[in-house]
Amino acid sequence: MVTLDKIRKYTQTIYDKDSEIKYIDVNADSVEEALADAALQLETNVKSLEYEVIETGFKGVAGLLKRPWHLRIYENEQAHKNNNKKVKNTGSVVEGGEEKSENPNRDGMYFIHRFGSQVFIKVVLPVAEGEPVKLAEVMSFLSSYKVIDLDKKTVHDAVKNGTDSKYIPIGSFEHDQSFDATFYIDVSNDEMTAYIQAQAPNKKGCEIEFEQIMRQLKLQGVTNGIQPEKVQEFVDNPVYNTPYIVAQGIPAVNGRDAYIEYNFETDVSKLRAKESSSGQINFKERNIIQNVVQGQPLAKKILPERGKPGKTVRGRYLEATNGKDIQIPLGKNVSIDNADKRTIIADKNGQVLLVNNRVTVEPVLEVDEVSLKASNGNVEFNGTVIVHKNVQDGFSVKATGNIEVGGSVGNSYLEADGDIIVSLGIRGRDKGKIKSGKSIWAKFIENSIIESEDCVVVTDGIINSQVTAKRKIVVNGKRAAIVGGHLFATEEIRAKNIGSAGGNETLLEVGYDPNAKRRLDELNRKKFDSQKKLEELNLDIATLENQKKLRRHLSPDKEKQLGELKNEQEDLMAVCDDMEVEIEEIQDHLRALKVVGKVSASGTVYAGVKIMVRDVKDEIKNDVRSVTIYFENGFPQHGKYEEPSDDDTIRIPDGYSTN
């Protein structure tokens, strides 16, 4: 007997089930768009959705009075059950916040449908340790079908052995064709998608068969892009009152145009100043110059792609356009790599730029000033750098070509593989350093460290500076003075006046290779330290060996220490031998120098000036006027001032005029 209490319990059960089903309200221009949106939000597919129309949409007239569809969309009951089953039996297991590996098991499944006047069953066996289909559950489900002449043995065998993904008949039912499921094929306007639109059958009606759908697709002219697996899914789990995709065309894909792939930043606004490990920005390191070297790949043309034609579900051919080709944008000082005919490479060292959309290498960098106010900061460039004004204290300029400064240089660091030209002067404040792979030109040099692989040429004077030149130091202006400091040149030091009355100590050295002499002094210091260390090692080794003789053995620790000391002794002796060989080579080189070395002053060499000519010291006791000091017969000699000959002329800077 049905009691009120049973009705309440049944109602509560239905309510609990319904409350578990998620739903969302969606507004869209069409039902299809609303369903697609809902499928994404509910993390399911369109076929698993059902909906209620809250408000019917309207396309409008000429864009006016347009009204969207308002649908309430939720998972159908079967999809909800399947999702719950998946959560229970498959997926990831989370313990302690860590995701475990996915469960490979899959439960068995069964499908029962009415096709024609018969009832069919399909059973899919479980995978791995998945739960098999229960016969009792199948029989309970069949009881609602009112199957006539049910073949229980066939059902039993199907549940036990599966049906090999096929439907097999197990009985019949009371069939009334007027209650059969109905459907039609709807093809989208662009013929790219074919849908099934189906109405559910009554309990006395039959459902839709696979062959029926395939025949109807053919009748509607759908011959391309049919997805049999989607059709089979529909047969297994019918979706009614909702468009269900069963065929999709192949869209035409136009070919991509050719384009240039750059190996450098083309948008200079994206170049950023360097940051320290603490995140502080070094505004001296603006990092805005993109240096390249000769032969470096700068950009590459990516070839255009051919288009891929498509086809609609009705077999209509869709033409695709091929990508367009482009010219390789070659600017100055670049060329095409002969290997692939598509790569742009640098013909010179310099800065890579995009000038008028062409890849260009500029071998000369021009900046207004090197300072905190300027936008460039420190400069490091693979080419020649021209600074129109000054290089301020604390900044550096490095170049693989020349450096030309139109103003002055402060307590800065300048280094160039070529010449360095400073139009005004260099005030290093005892810390500034200038280093050139060729010659250095300046109006004056004060309290600076100067190193040149060729000549140093100054107009006014050199004051309290350390200047080294592989060939000559020439001060040739009207005031042309060398006052204080330590000057070092292989061939000659020439000025008007050298030293001063009561001035700072002035030391001049000529007659040998300054770099070789510096290396010789360094090696002699290292040799002395190494020999001292070697004496200590010899003493320690002798002590341990004497202990071994007296005791006939050493402890393991002492034996290990003795071995380590001998290894260190052997390594140090090898180092000393190598240094000795290099010292002899340098000494032979210095002795073989044909350059005599001389110091010339057209004005006065003041008392107190110290001159070293080929390792022989000459300290000037009294002022000497118009003199050339040179080496002869093992001693420095004072002779009449020698005017510079034509052979002694100093070359002008590379790439510059004397104007």
506 and 561 belong to one structural domain: no
- Please report whether residue 434 resides in a domain: yes
Among 223, 248, 273, residue at a domain's last position? 248
Hey, how many other C-beta atoms are within 10 angstroms of the C-beta on 649?
9
325 and 464 belong to one structural domain: no
243 and 263 belong to one structural domain: no
* Max CA distance (Å), the chain: 144
Per-residue H/E/C for 68-80: CEEEEEEECHHHH
Is the per-residue pLDDT at 335 higher than 50? yes
How far lies 606's CA from each of 489, 509, 613, in Å?
A: 20, 16, 17
* Cα–chain center distance at 94: 36
Segment 595-623, tens digit of pLDDT = 678 999 999 999 999 999 887 889 999 99
Segment 289-332, tens digit of pLDDT = 788 999 999 999 999 998 988 999 998 989 889 999 999 999 99
For residue 506, list its beta bridge partners. Answer: 485
Is the per-residue pLDDT at 405 higher than 90? yes
- Please report whether residue 101 resides in a domain: no
Per-residue H/E/C for 213-265: HHHHHHHCCCCCCECHHHHHHHHHCCCCCCCEEEEECECCECCCCCEEEECCC
The alpha carbon torsion through 415, 416, 422, 427 (nearest 10 deg) reads 10
Q: How far is residue 186's CA from residue 243's CA, in Å, rounded to a whole number?
A: 8
Assess contact for 506 and 490: CB atoms under 8 A. no
- Please report whether residue 9 resides in a domain: no
CA geometry: angle at 306 spanning 303 and 307, to 5°? Answer: 140
512 and 535 belong to one structural domain: no
- Please report whether residue 385 resides in a domain: no
pLDDT (0 to 100) of residue 659? 36
Q: How far is residue 361's CA from residue 382's CA, in Å, rounded to a whole number?
A: 10
575 and 608 belong to one structural domain: no
126 and 186 belong to one structural domain: yes
220 and 118 belong to one structural domain: yes
139 and 198 belong to one structural domain: yes
pLDDT (0 to 100) of residue 179? 94
- Please report whether residue 657 resides in a domain: no
- Please report whether residue 43 resides in a domain: yes
pLDDT (0 to 100) of residue 341? 93
Segment 183-239, tens digit of pLDDT = 999 999 999 999 999 999 998 999 999 999 999 999 999 999 999 999 999 999 999
Q: Which helix (H) or strand (E) holds 525?
A: helix 514-551
With left for phi above 0 and alpha for psi between -120 and 50, is residue 585 left, alpha or beta?
alpha
Domain of residue 483, residue span = 397-516+595-648
Structural domains of the chain, count: 5
Q: How far is residue 202's CA from residue 208's CA, in Å, rounded to a whole number?
A: 12
433 and 538 belong to one structural domain: no
Assess contact for 455 and 439: CB atoms under 8 A. yes
Q: What percent of the chain has pLDDT over 90?
A: 57
- Model confidence at 257, pLDDT cuts 50, 70, 90, reads very high
Segment 72-126, tens digit of pLDDT = 887 776 666 665 544 333 333 333 333 444 568 889 999 999 999 999 999 999 9
| Residue 204, both tokens | 């006395």
Is the per-residue pLDDT at 631 higher than 70? yes
524 and 506 belong to one structural domain: no
The b-or-e profile of 556-589 (16+ CB within 10 A means b, else e) is eeeeeebeebeeebeeeeeebeebeeebeebeee
Q: How far is residue 481's CA from residue 444's CA, in Å, rounded to a whole number?
A: 10
Among 362, 385, 407, residue at a domain's last position? 362
496 and 572 belong to one structural domain: no
Q: How far is residue 429's CA from residue 415's CA, in Å, rounded to a whole number?
A: 17
- Please report whether residue 472 resides in a domain: yes
Mean pLDDT of 402-415: 94
- Please report whether residue 100 resides in a domain: no
Q: How far is residue 324's CA from residue 636's CA, in Å, rounded to a whole number?
A: 79
Among 248, 276, 295, residue at a domain's last position? 248
| Residue 119, both tokens | 């009832």
413 and 338 belong to one structural domain: no
Assess contact for 320 and 252: CB atoms under 8 A. yes
